[in-house]
Amino acid sequence: MSLEKRLEGKVAIVTGGARGIGKAISTRLAAEGAKLAIVDIMLDVAEATASEFRASGVEAKAYAANVAKFEDAEKTVAAVVADFGRVDILVNNAGITKDNLMLRMTEQEWDAVIAVNLKGTYNFTKAVVRPMMKQRAGKIVNIASVVGRMGNVGQANYSASKAGVIALAKTTAKEFASRNIQANAVAPGYIITDMTAKLPQEARDAFLTVIPAKRGGTPVDVANAVYFLVSPDSDYITGQVINVDGGMLM
Ligand code: NDP
């Protein structure tokens, strides 16, 4: 008996796909047969991950792009279509934090986070919908955060950006449902990665007190939810948010 790989022949763009949660998502999609376009702001970082995938037999290519720049998004998507012939999946994963209490938050901190997390998601979504419409199929997943649904002290910029990507997924879902393009969001809670390793120990301990599962999540936990939302199993699911948070927000 040969088990079918569910994403065989599909081409997936994963922004911030070179490390952390993005790399786990790339790994999960590749395990199901997807070809990977790994986007990172630094070409050498993307290339190192892409070559790791190629060494294990996955068709993967690195693309340097600052997601905050619309021109970079357009060029990247055009290059992916030229290189692979199509684009079936977009995972808007690239994201940054610049935490500060509202009273201390600078305009630069606000602008930087909105530019990468929210505008970056708009930029890549806008760039892929045309080729996806032509194909009459596409899957878009925005990586949000539970703080985009509940707010968080010290994260005015980040929580607003993540609320924004949830709304953007819903609007994309409504505008393109009739073209067979599904758009959803995944909202991770506290996931153990480089991003959360930067948090002070007290902040990490505080998370565990509000997580019924009593542990942080792993990038693989997030990748599994993303896989479901880009697989044929979720073809009738659009405009939804799946929390991956050990029960933190219900
Ligand atoms: P990391 O910081 O580990 O990885 C983020 C990736 O995005 C890096 O590869 C980074 O590249 C890339 N990136 C950053 N800015 C840009 C840019 N302007 N253009 C292109 N690529 C960029 O983060 P995580 O893996 O922890 O997070 C991934 C996503 O999950 C983010 O959207 C984050 O907000 C979200 N999330 C994470 C949670 C957590 O607990 N970790 C919780 C909730 C949501 P480089 O390294 O070269 O700068």
pLDDT digits (tens, 9 = 90+) for 33-70: 999 999 999 999 999 999 999 999 999 999 999 999 99
CA angle at residue 172 from 146 to 46, to 5 degrees? 70
Which residues line the pocket of ligand 1, CB cutoff 6 A?
15-16, 18-22, 40-42, 45, 65-68, 93-96, 116, 143, 145, 188, 190-191, 193-196
Asked whether the predicted pLDDT for residue 198 surpasses 90, the reply is no
CB contact burial 106-115 (16+ within 10 A = b; e otherwise): eeebbebbbb
pTM value? 0.98
The pLDDT confidence band at residue 73, using thresholds 50, 70 and 90, is very high
Amino acid, single-letter form, for residue 186 = V
Pairing status of strand 11-15 against strand 89-92: parallel
CA angle at residue 28 from 193 to 167, to 5 degrees? 70
Residue minimizing CA distance to atom 4 of ligand 1: 20
